[in-house]
Amino acid sequence: MKKVKMKNTNRSVLLGAAFLMATSAIGPGFLTQTTVFTESLLASFGFVILISIIIDIGAQINIWRIIAVSEKRAQDIANDLLPGLGYFLAFLVVIGGLAFNIGNIAGAGLGTNVLFGISAELGAILSGILAIGIFIVREAGKAMDKFAQVLGFVMIGLTLYVMFTATPPYGEAVIKTFVPDNISILAIVTLVGGTVGGYITFAGGHRLIDAGIKGKEALPEVTRSSIFGIGIASVMRIILFLAVLGVVSQGLKLDPSNPPASVFQLAAGNIGYKIFGIVMWAAAITSVVGAAYTSVSFIRTFHPWLEKHHKKIIIGFIAVSTLVFVFIGRPVLILILVGSLNGLILPIALGVMLVAAYKIKIVGDYKHPLWLTIFGAIIVITMAIMGVYSLMNGIPQLFK
């Protein structure tokens, strides 16, 4: 009986970790990036999604497996590999997570504004309080898992309805996914950065460590959970892509001040606009929770005081993000920009993990599959080259 209960608990945690990672990825930036790039690339954006999914899976399987088998969080693995490297990685992730979270809080405020007509600032404050409440309860981990799962299903279900009302050209989307008219490196880097860049790919891996799911015996479950997390985020990306494609294929123009909202409104009228409010709020608030939890997980092992008070630090992280938005605001392009910069963090983080996979003092007698190492190395090199190219060429064009 106890074994069955343990198995069910593990399944719940594995599912929760997958949804935590996926809903961390599916934030306001995710909605904005997908809409903007679909409008510019049309059906050829399907190819960008396909390539990004392949890269996402390769990166996430490698990182989650190495975290699980080492039984340590990423920053501790990095410090074991090279003293000080973990602090550098933590700095990059926390700064990126904070920047993203300001955008996430803004998205939550925008969602409540659409739904209830209250100001975005008031909506952001109320949403921030709700997010903080999750970490006040005794079983914060379980509450976070359930919260991510429920809102994840809500987002996918509602966006699916809008997709069907938009009547996209499915045939053209399939063809251009494999034979695109044009390819955007900036779009690929931004999508990968927004799905597994920065803190996001570590969200589920660190959650599993916290829940005690680790070691070589847990690898099959960890691998399945990592793929499932990418699958959830990818399904949402594809559904939204088709919804946007359906709208723009009809010759309708999106509102540049809020492209995702105009997609929902043009596809399904006022009901669609209210659905956008729900989806935007759900995407934003789950990302607030995921960003705060994961960013703090990168510093909590550096000192016993940080470990003891990590919940309070998470609460402070959310509070600071909320106050920065309310009193300072955010640049219009911050979500796309940070997504691209997070794409630059990925090759560093994944490179560290791949080297660590061959250090006995970190992984013991574990043998990392050669095909995963090669797959990961290709991703590191490719993302580093594309990331630098985007930084030098693509990103400056956003500000023209």
CB neighbour burial string for 307-335, b if at least 16 within 10 angstroms, e if fewer: eeebbebbbebbbbbbebbbeeeeeeebb
Tell whether the model's pLDDT for residue 334 goes beyond 70.
no
Report DSSP state, residue 253.
P
Residues 211, 192: Cα–Cα separation, whole Å: 27
State the Cα angle at 234 between 231 and 236, rounded to 5°: 115
Residue 24 pLDDT class (50, 70, 90 cuts): confident
Residue 65 pLDDT class (50, 70, 90 cuts): very high
Q: What does the pLDDT look like over 75-101, one tens digit per residue?
A: 999 999 999 999 998 888 888 888 888
Query: Is residue 349 a contact partner of residue 89, using CB atoms and an 8 Å limit?
Result: yes
Tell whether the model's pLDDT for residue 232 goes beyond 60.
yes
What pLDDT does residue 112 have? 92
State the Cα angle at 41 between 38 and 43, rounded to 5°: 75
Tell whether the model's pLDDT for residue 358 goes beyond 60.
yes
State the Cα angle at 307 between 303 and 312, rounded to 5°: 120
**Mean pLDDT for the stretch of residues 298-324:** 89
What is the model's pTM? 0.84
**Mean pLDDT for the stretch of residues 378-385:** 84
Which comes out higher in pLDDT, residue 186 or 81?
Answer: 81
Tell whether the model's pLDDT for residue 120 goes beyond 60.
yes
What pLDDT does residue 169 have? 93
Residues 280, 106: Cα–Cα separation, whole Å: 10
The tally of CA atoms less than 13 A away on the side-chain side of residue 382 is: 19
Tokens of 10: 């593990």
What pLDDT does residue 2 have? 42
Query: Is residue 37 a contact partner of residue 240, using CB atoms and an 8 Å limit?
Result: no
For the chain, which domains are there?
15-178+185-398 (1.20.1740.10)
**Summary mean pLDDT of the chain:** 84
The residue type of 366 is: Y
Residue 222, helix vs strand vs coil? helix
What pLDDT does residue 3 have? 45
Residues 77, 75: Cα–Cα separation, whole Å: 5
What are the residue ranges of helices labelled H in the chain? 2-25, 28-41, 45-70, 74-81, 85-116, 120-136, 140-166, 170-178, 185-196, 200-210, 219-248, 259-297, 304-308, 310-327, 334-356, 360-363, 370-389, 395-398
The residue type of 127 is: S
Tell whether the model's pLDDT for residue 5 goes beyond 50.
no
Give the residue carrying structure tokens 């803190």: 199
The Cβ of residue 23 has, within 10 Å, a number of other Cβ atoms equal to 31
Candidates 270, 234, 230, 262; CA nearest to 246 is: 262
What pLDDT does residue 127 have? 92
Query: Is residue 207 a contact partner of residue 20, using CB atoms and an 8 Å limit?
Result: yes
**179 CB-near residues (< 8 Å, 6+ apart):** none
Which comes out higher in pLDDT, residue 118 or 13?
Answer: 118
What pLDDT does residue 172 have? 94
Residue 332 pLDDT class (50, 70, 90 cuts): very low
What pLDDT does residue 356 have? 92
What pLDDT does residue 95 have? 82
Return the percentage of the chain with pLDDT > 90, whole number: 29
CA dihedral for 136, 126, 16, 298, sign (positive or negative): negative
Residue 144 pLDDT class (50, 70, 90 cuts): confident
Which comes out higher in pLDDT, residue 331 or 142?
Answer: 142
State the Cα angle at 293 between 93 and 206, rounded to 5°: 75
What pLDDT does residue 394 have? 52
Tokens of 220: 């099959």
Tell whether the model's pLDDT for residue 311 goes beyond 60.
yes
Residues 291, 197: Cα–Cα separation, whole Å: 12
Residue 146 pLDDT class (50, 70, 90 cuts): confident
Tell whether the model's pLDDT for residue 18 goes beyond 90.
no
Tell whether the model's pLDDT for residue 216 goes beyond 50.
yes
What pLDDT does residue 8 have? 54
What pLDDT does residue 396 have? 53
Most confident range (mean pLDDT) of 56-70, 250-264, 342-356 is: 56-70
Return the percentage of the chain with pLDDT > 70, whole number: 90
